[in-house]
Amino acid sequence: MHRRQHEHAQRQHIIYSLDSLLLQLHSLSCFLSPSLLVLIIRLVSQFICSKPRDVDPSRSLLFWYGAVVFLSFAPFWTHVTDGSADGRSIFLDFVGQANAPSKLHVVLLDAFILFLQLVHITIAYESSLIPKTSPEADREIHVPVYSSLPTPLPSPFPESFSTPPTPPLRSSSSPAKTTSPHESPYIIDLRLSHILERLRNPVPDAALEDDGESLPFPNTTSSWPVPNGIRVLLRARAEVRRRQAQQSQRQAQSDGEAPQRVPGGMDTDGT
């Protein structure tokens, strides 16, 4: 559990670092080709990249890819056709180059920004799914499991030929540390095969399973989660009601076992 929390913190640090880097690249692009509308569009796309599932948790990764590409298409097409915008920067007059940047310069910068945004939104999307999945699903997300090992090549030596055994490199007193094939030393293992699998299967099955922590109240059916403090109070209140119901039921059963007289009836014990 402690290791998963440490890995989650490391992933969040990577997400924040990419967010800061992309904001600096957006500022550089605005200095090279000043346009207030393009800057606003880039900031909107950057907000989506940093927290895609906070914007809409029901959308898939393919949808967010399309949204980022759609928002980046207008600045990219403008720079491809017209190059950098004429005039100086509208923010800092003394920041800039002596000469106007070339069309290739701004187009390559736009392509690099789009590539980093796709990487950023992929990491943010996958990191938001990890707390809702089991450890086995976490390993399947970040470390692909190979179904079989490669077939060894045939030996060039005849079967009767035997080689002397190779002495072990480690002594028996220090056993080798065995690691599971599912474990990975990397915090993030981003592979093209996994991205394609996520695009084909938008939502993992483990993320749709109910964890059983929510109570059947109307306020838990919305997309906003119930805070832990309120959840504890609701559980305590439900437990008190359950105990009161059990106590009243036991009291009713004990009262029913005692002999009762019918109003207006005769006492048969005294006759």
Domain spans of the chain, in order of start: 2-142
Rounded to whole angstroms, how far apart are CA atoms 186 and 219?
A: 39
48 in Cβ contact with 55 (< 8 Å): yes
Rounded to whole angstroms, how far apart are CA atoms 20 and 17?
A: 5
CB pairs under 8 A, 24+ apart, for 85-89? 85/33, 85/34, 85/35, 87/34, 88/34, 89/30, 89/31, 89/34
Q: Taking the CA atoms of the chain, what radius of gyration do you get in angstroms?
A: 33
pLDDT tens for the chain, 271 residues long, are 566 677 777 888 888 888 899 989 988 888 888 888 888 888 888 888 888 888 888 888 888 888 899 988 888 888 888 777 665 544 455 555 667 778 888 889 999 999 999 998 888 888 877 654 445 444 444 443 333 444 555 555 555 555 555 555 554 444 444 444 445 567 677 778 877 877 777 765 444 444 444 444 444 444 456 666 677 778 888 888 888 888 888 887 776 655 556 566 565 555 5
What sign for the dihedral angle of Cα 214, 220, 222, 227? negative
Give the global pTM.
Answer: 0.53
